[in-house]
Each structure stands twice: as C-alpha cells, then as structure tokens.
Chain A
Amino acid sequence: MQAIKEQEHQASLEASISAWIDAEADIRPEDLDTPYGRRVWDTYHMIGDVLRSEELAIKPSDFLYARISRAIDEEPPIVAPRPLSMRPYARAGLSGLAVAAAVAAVAWIALPYFTASDGGVAETPVLATAEPEGIYDYVAAHRDITGVGPVRQVSFEPGDAR
C-alpha cells in the first residue's frame, strides 16, 4: 500500500512540475527543492529545447550544475531592488553619457549640423540626448513599410480603433 501511495505521490509531483513549466499551475516551491524534482525540471526542459532545436541536445558535464550551485551558495545574499519610482534619474552633462547608455539599450545621439553642405565631414557625436518626442511615430511608420523583422512596429493606440 505504501509503495502505491508513494508512486501516486511521485506521479502527481511530475504532473505538477509539467504544468508549472507551462505556467498552467502554481507549485509549492518545496516540491522542486529536491534533487529529484530538479532532475524532472531539467529533463522536461531539455525535451522542450531539443524539440525546438537539435542543437540544444547538449549534455553539460555532470559537474557544471553542481559547480554553479555551490558557487551561488557562497555568494552573499541578494538584496531586493528598489521600486522603479525611487531610481535616481540620469545625471545631465557629458558624464551622463555612461548613465544614459545604461538607461536605454542604445541612446539617441545629437549631431552637429550646418546649413551649407560640408561634403563628407565625419560625424562627431556630441551628446546622448533625450528621445525626441514623437520620433517613434515616424520610425514606426517607416518600418511599417520597409519592415525590419522583430523591430517592425505599429504605431497604434486604442483611440485609433474606431
């Protein structure tokens, strides 16, 4: 009887992990906090990876996961991030370049320009600049037609849907 009960518990553990991987159920974290639970998690993810790409049929050496896990154990504990609203804003000025770059993936930079054509002068970036208001409407309208795959955007607001 005990063996059968254990088997049932096992089956329901794997079934729970399966559902949680798909974001279709909540799981008690302690269910996954065992070597076996982690093994199931790992195998199920590997199956999904390999189905999507044979290149992901990688078997890391047995020690890799253990090494990483031990290394994490030796790290100091994490301090949770402050809420977004409390983050100090980018400082202005030339030193703000590095900070501005950290805030946006790639920053808009302002370039000098002259009224007369100056034939081939190399661009001299001046400063990271705040994103010009409304610029993405044009970028989106351009990419609408020319398309750049994932960056293709649609400038769309709920008000447009009449």
Chain B
Amino acid sequence: MNQRDVDAALVARVQRGDKRAFDLLVLKYQRKIMRLLSRMIREPAEIEDVTQEAFIKAYRALPQFRGESAFYTWLYRIAINTARNWQAANSRRPVTSSIVEMGDGETFDEIDNLTDISTPESMLASRQIADTVTAAMQSLPEDLRTAILLREIEGMSYEDIAQSMGCPIGTVRSRIFRAREAIASQLKSVLGDDHDTDRRW
C-alpha cells in the first residue's frame, strides 16, 4: 500500500457512488490546488471559486479516470485547465501568458508564476499555522519528531521507519499518531471554529 493506493481506494468508492469519499479527496488536496491556482489567478476572492469549479469538474470527469496516472496528477491537470478557461471567460489575461496551439491540436499553457497575491488576513492565518506547526514540532520529543519527519518528508513506510529507528512497527504507528495529535492540539486555537457541531477538541 502507498499513497496512490489510498487515493485509488477513495476514487473507487466515489466511482461506486460514495460522494462522501470525494469530500475526503477535496480535504486532502484543497490546499495544494489553491496554491497552484494562486499562481494563475490574481484575485484572491476568485481563487476559491475556481478551486470549487476544479473539484466539481474532477468529480464529473471521474468516470473517465482509470488510474493510469496518480489521482493528484490528473487533478492537477484539470485544475490548470479550469483556471485557463476561467481566465479566458473572464477576459483576465495573466501578465505573461502564451497559449500555444500545437499542430496536433494540443494546447500547452505557459504556467505563470505570478506574485503570490494574498489578502493580509489570509497571510496572517498562514503565518500562524506555519509558526504553530514549527513550534509544535520543536517541542516534540525527538522520537516522535523523527518518526513524523521520516513519514511526511521522506515518505517512508512504517516498516522502513521501524528499521531505521530500530523499533517495532507498532511503535512507529503510535509515535506518528502521537506526533500528529500533539501538533493538532496546538492548531486547535489557530484553526478555530469551523461550524462542526461535533467538535471534540
């Protein structure tokens, strides 16, 4: 099992009619897609609109997704296309755009990396989140910190982490979980209320 299998399992569920499984994919990738789109769309207010549209397009296109590529690669392409169409429909030309019409009918969009334009509020929230995670990491016991780094940065499997740290796999699982819990509890105050009535934190 690896990351692609997790996505593939969720996609399979969606393709069988489980819409809530798609929600999980949205939660997983919304930040990455927003960051990608922030490079093509100048207005911060529009980024979320286009993000929403990209996910809906992906949902509609899911019957054609057969897993030849990773789900995120496929989603990424859809997001780029959505942004491009949005720009065209709203006559918003990015500063240095060139839509290339190739002889074989393919179009290739020059991926512009515009200045990241964020509102002061969202920049502050981002800063707080980043600082909180950093501070929480620093105050973690070393074995928890190492475990979560090997998992999240290195993408190592529990088995490889266990070998690397010289402990049983169950310990790895527990350390990673406890690291996440410790950081998550620090993030509680920063993330604030998000209308979940079942909030347990």
The listed residue (A22, A38, A51) touching B149 by CB distance below 8 A is A51
Q: Is the CB of A65 within 8 A of B27?
A: yes
Size band of the B side of the interface? Answer: 35 or more
The answer to the question of A146 belonging to the interface, with a C-beta cut-off of 8 Å to chain B, is no
Contact partners of B129 in chain A: CB under 8 A: 46, 50, 57-59
Task: Among B19, B20, B22, find the residue whose CB has the most chain A CB atoms closer than 10 A.
Answer: B20
Q: Is the CB of B22 within 8 A of A72?
A: yes
The answer to the question of B90 belonging to the interface, with a C-beta cut-off of 8 Å to chain A, is no
Q: Is the CB of A72 within 8 A of B31?
A: no
Q: Is the CB of B153 within 8 A of A49?
A: no
The docked-state distance in angstroms from the alpha carbon of A51 to that of B187 is 13
The docked-state distance in angstroms from the alpha carbon of A14 to that of B126 is 24
The docked-state distance in angstroms from the alpha carbon of A61 to that of B121 is 11
Contact partners of A18 in chain B: CB under 8 A: 173, 176-177, 180
Contact partners of B158 in chain A: CB under 8 A: 22, 24
The answer to the question of A140 belonging to the interface, with a C-beta cut-off of 8 Å to chain B, is no
Q: Is the CB of A34 within 8 A of B31?
A: no
The listed residue (B23, B59, B104, B200) touching A65 by CB distance below 8 A is B23
The listed residue (A23, A40, A72) touching B56 by CB distance below 8 A is A72
What per-residue 1/0 map shows which CB atoms of B1-29 lie under 8 Å from chain A? 11101100000011111111111101110
Q: Is the CB of B199 within 8 A of A60?
A: no
Size band of the A side of the interface? Answer: 35 or more
Interface of A is mostly: helix
Give the distance to chain B from A105, nearest Cβ to Cβ, in Å.
Answer: 8
The answer to the question of A42 belonging to the interface, with a C-beta cut-off of 8 Å to chain B, is yes
The docked-state distance in angstroms from the alpha carbon of A3 to that of B125 is 34
The answer to the question of B55 belonging to the interface, with a C-beta cut-off of 8 Å to chain A, is yes
Report the nearest A residue to B196, measured CB to CB.
A35
Q: Is the CB of A98 within 8 A of B196?
A: no
Given the known inter-chain contacts A18-B177, A98-B105, please indicate yes or no for A64 contacting B17, CB distance below 8 A.
no
The listed residue (B6, B62, B103, B157) touching A78 by CB distance below 8 A is B62
Q: Is the CB of B52 within 8 A of A59?
A: no
Given the known inter-chain contacts A51-B137, A71-B56, A81-B15, please indicate yes or no for A60 contacting B31, CB distance below 8 A.
yes
Given contacts A22-B151, A40-B184, A47-B184, 17 further A-B contacts (CB under 8 A): A15-B173, A29-B18, A38-B23, A44-B184, A51-B137, A57-B129, A59-B125, A59-B191, A64-B52, A66-B195, A68-B30, A77-B17, A98-B105, A107-B104, A123-B103, A124-B103, A125-B102
Q: Could you list which residues of chain B lie within 8 angstroms of chain A, going by C-beta atoms? A: 1-3, 5-6, 13-24, 26-28, 30-32, 34-35, 48, 51-52, 55-56, 59-60, 62-66, 102-106, 116, 122, 125-127, 129-130, 133, 137, 148-149, 151-153, 157-158, 173-174, 176-177, 180-181, 183-184, 187, 191, 194-200
**What are the 8 A-B residue pairs with the smallest beta carbon separation, nearest first?**
A125-B103, A23-B1, A57-B129, A57-B130, A18-B177, A42-B27, A35-B196, A48-B152
